[in-house]
Amino acid sequence: MDLADREKLEKLALERLYATADDDEPWSFVFRTDGALSMNYCPWSETEDWEFDGEIEGLGLPWSPERLKLIKRGEADPTEEELHQWRRAKCRKLAANCHWFAWLTPLTINEKIAGYALFVGASEGDPDEAPILEGVFDSPEEAEAALTEKGAVGE
Q: Where are the domains of the chain?
A: 3-42+97-153, 50-92
> Is 99 within 8 Å of 124 (Cβ atoms)?
yes
pLDDT in tens, 95-145: 988 778 899 999 999 999 999 999 998 766 667 789 999 999 999 999 999
How confident is the prediction for the chain on average, in pLDDT? 93
Cα–Cα distance, 23 to 86 (Å, whole number): 41
Q: How far is CA 37 from CA 48, 82, 116, in A?
A: 27, 33, 10
Q: How far is CA 153 from CA 43, 75, 78, 89, in A?
A: 9, 33, 25, 12
What pTM was estimated for this model as a whole? 0.85
Percent of all residues in the chain with a pLDDT value above 90, rounded to a whole number: 83
Is the predicted pLDDT of residue 39 greater than 80, yes or no?
Answer: yes
pLDDT in tens, 54-91: 999 989 999 999 999 999 999 999 999 999 999 999 99
